[in-house]
Amino acid sequence: MQKQRIEDYALIGDCETAALVDRAGSIDWLCWPRFDSDACFAAILGTREHGHWQIAPERAGWSASRRYRGNTLILETRFETGDGVVTLIDFMPPRGNYSDVVRIVRGEAGAVRLRMDLTIRFGYGHTIPWVTRLEDGTLRAIAGPDMVVLRTPAETHGEGMSTVSEFTVAAGESIPFVLTYGPSHHPCPNPIDPFLALEETESFWSDWAGHYDPDALNGGMRLAPHWRDAVVRSLVTLKALTYAPTGGIVAAATTSLPEWPGGPRNWDYRYCWLRDSAMTLYAFMSSGYFEEAEAWRDWLVRAMAGSVDQMQIMFGLAGERRLLEWKVEWLPGFEGSRPVRIGNAAAGQLQLDVFGEVMALLHGARHGGLRESKEAWALQRSMLDSLESLWREPDEGIWEVRGPSRHFTFSKVMAWVAFDRCIRSAEEFGLDDAPLDRWREIRDEIHRDVCSRGYDPAQAAFVQSYGSPHLDASLLLLPILGFLPDDDPRIRGTIEAIERELLVDGFVLRYRPAESVDGLPGDEGAFLACSFWLVVAYLQVGRLDDACALFERLLAISNDVGLLAEEYDPRSGRQLGNFPQAFSHVGLVTAAHRLGQALASQRAEPPQPAATAVHARSP
């Protein structure tokens, strides 16, 4: 039986990997040393026996509340018990030679008896390590290529196949636990000072978040304070999903959190999609973070180096191409949602929209003042050479359907975007070797094709694919992309049709899975990125009140520490899918900034936040 919901988790990380901590102080997910490495704690996809690390009051009857310390990724869980109060401080210091998880228990009042339970299972919950105590008291767990060491002044002992500690923390005391990863053929990593690491980690995140500049691309916006907080939390989360050594950005920190409880729509998101990354970078740039944009552009050039015919829509963290998909037979999955998948077969798909997303990002980067890169422009030109014939092909589309390929309307629109943005870059920035006449012809031809084959006059709306009667929420992006003017009846018609057909209790489905053949059985939740796109679409057509109301509704479903998964089920009120998901947080940042601009231009006041308080109780 699964004990936690997806929204019960908070994220800590060191910009190379990340861990999920539940409300009861249990780390139930951690892949070491990279986001895409095997997990050593996989309880979230199975049981506690698949690996977890819990520190919590020993006796039942406690209640807990938590928050991030300021604008950092340092998580503070405050346990209140009949005997006193303690705060559990969890963080991962920015990576030194090795990667650490630091947990400090600080006594606030009275004296609280706590229990630590460390169950390491390398290989996604499979492999029980060999645990030995070294002369200096360090506990070392090794199996195959992996080594994890635990250092703490608290006494520990073995219980079954776990390491346990029972200890008391009184007001004013602090007891640290440091878990460090290293390759098993290395000597034991040197100890770190957990208290110094706490100071350094706090400075790292506070400095980074302190550079947030909402006016970086478009000046003069009016952001409500609670919108600003939500944006900064989203940016910190996006930064935490960025793999610092290469600049690659993972779509989420997890694999196989289900898009529907008990269903098979479970995917591995610990890779770098060009689409998700391009949108993330746009959110970074609009917030003043250009270093990340430059690092990603260089990552892109390296990942795509070689023949553009071998281009992929996604890569590994360092640009790896083989992301073979397999099923973890021994993991029962979150609430029995099987299969648990590692790798992602979508890497082999044709998804034409990524051409447009990459070109739009690189065009925006030029406007943002990013240094010109000859390699990037050469790459763009050869991508267009390839798109010149490819755009006529059917593809798997933005949603990566596993059913038959089709002529997805959004894919064609993004092919139009690809040519349009390159033409504009060449015109505005005087870039060389641009066959502008040819590009303009193709751009116009694609536009005509979409308007005649992707539009259904009977519904007064653009449809999911040529000739299909079904709707698709990706088409909410048409106005912001500038495909047609905002006041064009086809744009308004599409928004209204999507409101009629794809809204569930005010949240947007990306499409109706039962109607649109996506090759998968079962249902799924409302897609949060699409719901944020509707906020922006409302703004484009002048529906400011609807935009504000929907944005507030979306903020209200983020969890107690401001995090969002990929999807949401309005009926059960639960978050669904991988977590936290970059796409959702990008949607939040973009929608907040657009709202801020709209309010400023109309001299309107932002709304007040809806009050929420979340407390956990011991079982």
DSSP states of 278-341: HHHHHHHHTTT-HHHHHHHHHHHHHHH-S-GGG--SEE-TTS------EE-TT---GGG----E
CA 533, 535, 540, 541 torsion-angle sign: positive
Instruction: Name residues contacting ligand LLGJG24Q, limited to 341-360 (CB under 6 A).
Output: 344, 346
Among 126, 402, 470, 543, which residue sits at the site for ligand LLGJG24Q (rule: CB under 6 A)?
402
> Which two three-digit tokens encode residue 335?
């609430």
Report how many residues bind ligand LLGJG24Q under the rule CB under 6 A.
13
Q: How far is the CB of 176 from ligand LLGJG24Q (least distance, A)?
A: 36
Is residue 16 involved in binding ligand LLGJG24Q (CB under 6 A)?
Answer: no
Q: Report d(CA 333, CA 282) in Å as an integer.
A: 34
Closest approach of Cβ 250 to ligand LLGJG24Q, in Å?
9
**Three-state DSSP state, 232:** helix
251 near ligand LLGJG24Q, rule: CB under 6 A: yes
179 or 303: CB nearest ligand LLGJG24Q: 303
Alpha-carbon distances of 274 from 124, 254, 468, rounded to whole Å: 27, 18, 27
How buried is 422 (Cβ within 10 angstroms: 0-12 exposed, 13-18 middle, 19+ buried)? buried
Give 304's Cβ-side CA count (13 Å radius).
Answer: 27
- Minimum distance of ligand LLGJG24Q from residue 39's CB (angstroms): 18
> Pick from 101, 96, 80: which is nearest to 26 by CA?
101
Question: Least distance to ligand LLGJG24Q from the beta carbon of 64, Å?
Answer: 31
By C-alpha distance, which of 125, 477, 521 is closest to 337?
521
Give whichever of 398 and 598 is closer to ligand LLGJG24Q, judged by the CB atom: 398
Nearest to ligand LLGJG24Q of 86, 352 (CB atom): 352
Q: Which of 41, 204, 269, 290 touches ligand LLGJG24Q by CB under 6 A?
A: 269
DSSP tally for the chain: helices H, then strands E: 14, 29
| Least distance to ligand LLGJG24Q, CB of residue 267, Å | 4
CB of 319 to ligand LLGJG24Q, least distance (A): 17
Q: Which residue, 267 or 507, has its beta carbon nearer to ligand LLGJG24Q?
A: 267
Per the DSSP assignment, residues forming a β-bridge with 26 are 54
Nearest to 25 by CA among 64, 80, 51, 72: 64
Whether 411 contacts 353, CB under 8 Å: yes
Which residue from 56, 281, 583, 586 is in contact with ligand LLGJG24Q, where contact means CB under 6 A? 583
Choice between 400 and 552, CB closer to ligand LLGJG24Q: 400
Nearest to 311 by CA among 416, 378, 418, 387: 387
- The stretch near ligand LLGJG24Q (CB under 6 A) out of 366-374, 378-386, 394-402, 486-494 is 394-402
User: Residue 17: in which H helix or E strand, if any?
Assistant: none
Task: Tell whether omega for the bond before 33 is within 30 degrees of 0, i.e. cis.
Answer: yes
Residue 264 Cβ vs ligand LLGJG24Q, minimum distance, rounded to whole Å: 10
Least Å distance, CB 175 to ligand LLGJG24Q, is 39
Rounded to a whole number of angstroms, the minimum distance from the CB of residue 417 to ligand LLGJG24Q is 16
Closest CA to 560 of 87, 54, 21, 52: 21
Among positions 276-295, residues that touch ligand LLGJG24Q (CB under 6 A) are 276
CB of 610 to ligand LLGJG24Q, least distance (A): 28
Question: In this complex, which beta carbon is closest to ligand LLGJG24Q, that of residue 45 or of residue 398?
Answer: 398
User: Closer to ligand LLGJG24Q at the Cβ: 275 or 366?
Assistant: 275
Does the protein bind ligand LLGJG24Q through residue 498 (CB under 6 A)? no
- Report in angstroms how near the CB of residue 304 gets to ligand LLGJG24Q at its nearest: 17
Print the SS3 string covering 86-148: EEEEEECCCCCCCEEEEEEEEEEEEEEEEEEEEECCHHHHCECCEEEECCCCCEEEEECCEEE
**Part in contact with ligand LLGJG24Q (CB under 6 A); list of ranges 60-68, 144-152, 396-404, 601-609:** 396-404
585 binds ligand LLGJG24Q (CB under 6 A): no
Rounded to 10 degrees, the C-alpha dihedral 239/244/246/252 comes to -40
8-state DSSP, 590: H
- Cβ atoms of 377 and 430 within 8 Å: the answer is no
Among 52, 140, 151, 275, binds ligand LLGJG24Q (CB under 6 A): 275
Give the binding range for ligand LLGJG24Q (CB under 6 A) out of 70-78, 109-117, 165-173, 267-275: 267-275
Torsions phi, psi of 605, nearest 5? -90, 140
For 54, how many CA atoms within 13 A lie in the half-sphere containing its CB?
Answer: 20
Q: Which two structure tokens, joined as six digits, stand for 428?
A: 């505005």
φ, ψ (nearest 5 deg) of residue 245: -60, -30
Minimum separation from the CB atom of position 251 to ligand LLGJG24Q (A):
4
Report the run of H or E that residue 259 belongs to, with start and end. none
CA distance 88 to 219: 40
Nearer to ligand LLGJG24Q, 498 or 616 (CB): 498
- Which C-beta is closer to ligand LLGJG24Q: that of 92 or that of 398? 398
398: contact with ligand LLGJG24Q by CB under 6 A: yes
CA distance linking residue 518 with residue 492, whole number of Å: 27
Least separation, in Å, of the C-beta of 426 and ligand LLGJG24Q? 28
Stretch that binds ligand LLGJG24Q, among 125-133, 220-228, 397-405, 482-490 (CB under 6 A): 397-405
Which member of 8, 36, 100, 400 binds ligand LLGJG24Q (CB under 6 A)? Answer: 400
What DSSP designation does 615 have?
-
- Pick between residue 498 and residue 595 the one whose CB is nearest to ligand LLGJG24Q: 498
The residues binding ligand LLGJG24Q (CB under 6 A) are 251, 267, 269, 273, 275-276, 344, 346, 398-400, 402, 583
